[in-house]
């Protein structure tokens, strides 16, 4: 029996646009102020992880001293919001619009599901708000990725069963969440790092839409998920 892929769920940061870099720059400033070593490799573990959890990881049991935990969270966000001021529709990664339009043409339902509490603003600045049937941000669920809650909520709001949804993600936390939700996953980024995803592309401009859908349907048909 053949199943259709009908629900398309997109992470935001590092998938639709390069805001992962802005998160990195903001955390780097905080780390420097606290004199905590921080580099791009450490930042990999921050992808898909909530602001609160990122700070807990960064502090690694250290006492934040005179600057309280809440103040540091607010400071990180103010640095981040300084960087995102430069976002325009040109900041969308190449190929994203094309994939969104192809999904629409085929009658697919589309959601964005991000842990970021700045999702609404970023999506609006990118000029793609009306491309999504459902927008879920860091306020939408209590338990964030790698828990499957947000993707399951997206599937419910799209009215597409989890087994017919595919998640586009750049983070390991997000790919794990997709798997735990019983969904297909497409990694966007390095093949080496994202090898737990069902398919991996360096970027959306590498995606041949019909070929990708064909491969996903094959996985649905022959794997236990059917
Ligand atoms: C995720 C990013 O999308 O959002 C994380 O991958 C980030 O790096 C998280 O920490 C929370 O974002 P915000 O905007 O609420 O601080
Ligand atoms: Mg991401």
Name the closest ligand to CA 11: 2
Closest CA to ligand 1's atom 8? 47
Given a cut of 90, is residue 131 above it in pLDDT? yes
Of 21, 46, 51, which is best to mutate to test ligand 1, by the most ligand atoms within 8 angstroms of its C-beta? 51
Contact 72, 52 (CB under 8 A): no
Please state, rounded to an integer, the average pLDDT across all residues of the chain: 95
Q: Is the predicted pLDDT of residue 6 greater than 60, yes or no?
A: yes
Q: Are 201 and 187 in contact (CB under 8 A)?
A: yes
- The answer to whether 102 and 40 have CB atoms below 8 angstroms apart is no
pLDDT band at 112 (very low <50, low <70, confident <90, very high): very high
pLDDT band at 133 (very low <50, low <70, confident <90, very high): very high
Mutate to test the pocket of ligand 1, among 30, 49, 177 (most ligand atoms within 8 A of CB): 49
Question: So what's the pLDDT on residue 66?
Answer: 66
**Strand partners of residue 7:** 109, 165
Q: Which domains does the chain have, with CATH numbers?
A: 7-17+89-223 (3.40.50.1000), 19-84 (1.10.150.240)
Query: What is the position in ligand 1's atom list of the atom closest to the CA of 54?
Result: 10
* Residue 226 banded pLDDT, cuts 50, 70, 90: very low
């Amino acid at each position: 029996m053949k199943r259709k892929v009908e629900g398309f769920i997109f992470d935001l940061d590092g998938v639709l646009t390069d805001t992962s870099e802005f998160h990195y720059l903001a955390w780097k400033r905080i780390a420097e102020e606290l004199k905590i070593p921080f580099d791009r490799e450490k930042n990999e573990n921050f992808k898909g992880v909530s602001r609160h959890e990122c700070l807990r990881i960064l502090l690694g049991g250290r006492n934040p001293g005179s600057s309280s935990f809440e103040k540091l969270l607010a400071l990180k966000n103010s640095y981040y919001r300084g960087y995102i001021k430069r976002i325009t529709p040109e900041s969308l990664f190449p190929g994203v619009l094309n994939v969104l339009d192809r999904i629409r043409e085929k009658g697919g339902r589309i959601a964005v599901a991000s842990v970021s509490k700045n999702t609404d603003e970023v999506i609006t600045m990118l000029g793609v708000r009306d491309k999504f049937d459902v927008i879920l941000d860091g306020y939408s669920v209590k338990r964030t990725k790698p828990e499957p809650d947000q993707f399951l909520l997206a599937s419910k709001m799209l009215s597409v069963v989890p087994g017919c949804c595919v998640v586009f993600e750049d983070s390991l936390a997000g790919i794990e969440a997709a798997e735990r939700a019983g969904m297909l996953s497409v990694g966007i980024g390095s093949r080496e790092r994202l090898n737990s995803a069902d398919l991996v592309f360096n970027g959306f401009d590498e995606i041949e839409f019909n070929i990708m859908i064909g491969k996903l349907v094959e996985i649905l048909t022959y794997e236990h998920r059917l």
